[in-house]
Amino acid sequence: MTDELRYVYAVCRPPAAPLHADLTGVAGAPPRQLVHEGLVAVVSPVPERDFAHEPLRAHLEDLDWLAETARAHQSVVSALTTVTCPLPLRLATVFRDDSGVRAMLEDESDRLRRILDRIDGHVEWGVKVWLGDSGDGDGGAEPPAARPRSTPESGRDYLRRRRAGNAAREESAARAEVFTRRLYGDLARYAADARLHPAQTGPLTEAGSGRNILNSAFLVPRARSEEFLELIGRAEGTQPGLRVEVTGPWAAYSFTDGPEATDGPEATSGPEAGETP
């Protein structure tokens, strides 16, 4: 058995320019290009003691190790995005040796070429909309501390206040839904493709950020990215209580298919794993 395996970051066509000489990837190794019949796999050596099947399974339960590996993976994919349109592979895609990588390129050639043709000249932009949290448990009604102590609240007043709070929340949610539907539709017209991801929850959601009501990705021609961002800029601030968040440009994480392709900016494999996991 060898001491090193081959970590594969992405597949692309031959890039127009070389990657920066100081670029390092997973395990601190510089990436290199492995060419096979017009396809390029961007690879680097990784130690078998960490990336063989069993140790890798254990490492994937270590959030610190996972975050560090995801950042290194994304740094290489981001560098590739400046010189070509790469098809990023899943985090921790590993082969025994160069021959294994070439065999993958050979076996998957038709699918890889089809995807590369589709994403050529495009980048991915992520767009999220957050509904602000009022921060009180009575749904926006007047907090108890604000009411005079000398006038205890009656049961009828309490119910009236609760109904008013519920109505306000429902109205806010309805306005937010109209805004997000319109924004998504408007942005999709600038894109070659669009994806809706599940709403972001759990540890990926920062405290105080509110509720995620739109989590989307758009495959946008590079030449139209400025128009795309200008449209978002015009929409921002038009609806009180809503915040629009834009990330990118990324490689086309959300617009690949097949088992080797990654699942997009909200997956920990994707661009945001290096930012927030």
pLDDT digits (tens, 9 = 90+) for 141-155: 444 445 555 566 777
**Quick one: pLDDT band at residue 132, thresholds 50, 70, 90?**
confident
What pLDDT, on the 0 to 100 scale, is given for residue 16? 87
What pLDDT, on the 0 to 100 scale, is given for residue 80? 95
Give the tens place of pLDDT for each residue, 227-237. 999 999 999 98
Dihedral sign from CA coordinates of 9, 253, 229, 130? negative
Is residue 162, in this structure, part of any structural domain at all? no
**Amino acid sitting at position 165:** G
- In this structure, the answer to whether residues 130 and 95 fall within a common structural domain is no
User: What is the pTM (predicted TM-score) of this model?
Assistant: 0.76
Residue 248 sits in which domain range? 123-138+168-255
DSSP letters for 225-269: HHHHHHHHHHHTTSSTTEEEEEEEEE--GGG--STTB---TTSTT
Would you say residue 179 has pLDDT above 90?
yes
Is residue 159, in this structure, part of any structural domain at all? no
Average pLDDT for residues 171-191, to the nearest whole number? Answer: 90
Say which CATH number the domain at 205 has.
3.30.70
- In this structure, the answer to whether residues 18 and 104 fall within a common structural domain is yes
